């Protein structure tokens, strides 16, 4: 019984680094859209930093939880994006955004 418990603990310990590496080199960007063009979106993060994401034809958009290719974030929308660093630029892989509720 002790051997089985020890084996289980060792497997759990050695499998943790695999799970961390599986996430890859993607970055997460969270914030509010401040500017948008056809191929870029600028986001102001909660820390006040401005981050510009490039958009490709392969970028996936989700508006209020619904995947769509027609909808694009507008200034004032809140978003979270997964992006990869390509040639010193952040290329958006997936962008989830929503319109803030009016007060």
Summarize pLDDT for 66-86 with one digit per residue, the tens.
888 788 899 999 999 999 988
Between CA 55 and CA 91 the distance in angstroms is 6
SS3 state at 71: coil
Domain architecture of the chain: domains with CATH: 27-98 (2.40.50.320)
User: What whole-number distance in Å separates Cα of residue 84 and Cα of residue 58?
Assistant: 13
| Contact by Cβ (8 Å): 32, 77 | yes
- pLDDT category of residue 54 using cuts at 50, 70 and 90: very high
Of 16-20, 30-34, 83-87, the one with minimum mean pLDDT is 16-20
Mean pLDDT of 82-91: 88
State the Cα–Cα distance between residues 31 and 90, nearest whole angstrom: 15
């Amino acid at each position: 019984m002790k051997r089985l418990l020890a084996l289980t603990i060792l497997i759990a310990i050695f499998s943790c680094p695999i799970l961390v590496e599986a996430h890859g080199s993607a970055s997460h960007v969270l914030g509010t859209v401040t500017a948008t063009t056809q191929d870029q979106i600028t986001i102001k993060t909660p820390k006040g930093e401005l981050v510009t994401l490039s958009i490709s034809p392969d970028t996936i958009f989700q508006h209020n939880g619904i995947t769509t290719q027609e909808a694009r974030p507008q200034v004032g929308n809140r978003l979270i994006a997964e992006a990869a660093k390509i040639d010193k630029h952040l290329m958006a892989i997936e962008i989830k955004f929503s319109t803030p509720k009016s007060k």
